[in-house]
Amino acid sequence: MNQNVGSMDRVVRIVIAVVLFSLYFILEGNLRWISLIGIVPLATALIGWCPLYLPLGLSTCARKT
């Protein structure tokens, strides 16, 4: 499994995860569970690999020459 998530992409994913997790404190009732979607960008940022990038042929990592 090659990494396909670059450093800037990781930072953006972590920020998105934090925003989604903060929705837990803003939303009320069953809508709070939407904040758990933040697990996906956080996990892909920590692992450095995004499964959606694979079929699309994308990579935000710096190319090795």
Q: Give the single-character DSSP code of 38.
A: G
pLDDT of residue 2: 87
Q: Answer positive or negative: Cα dihedral of 32, 34, 37, 38.
A: negative
CA distance 44 to 16: 12
What number is the average pLDDT over the span 15-44? Answer: 96
Structural domain spans, the chain:
7-55
pLDDT at 64 over 90: no
For residue 1, the model assigns a pLDDT of 78
Give yes or no for residue 21 having a pLDDT over 80. yes
Residue 18, Ramachandran bin (φ over 0: left; ψ between -120 and 50: alpha; else beta)? alpha
**Residues of the chain by 3-state class (helix, strand, coil), percent to 5:** 65, 0, 35
Task: Identify the pLDDT of residue 49.
Answer: 95
pTM: 0.88
Residue-level pLDDT at 65: 54
Q: What is the mean pLDDT of residues 6-26?
A: 97
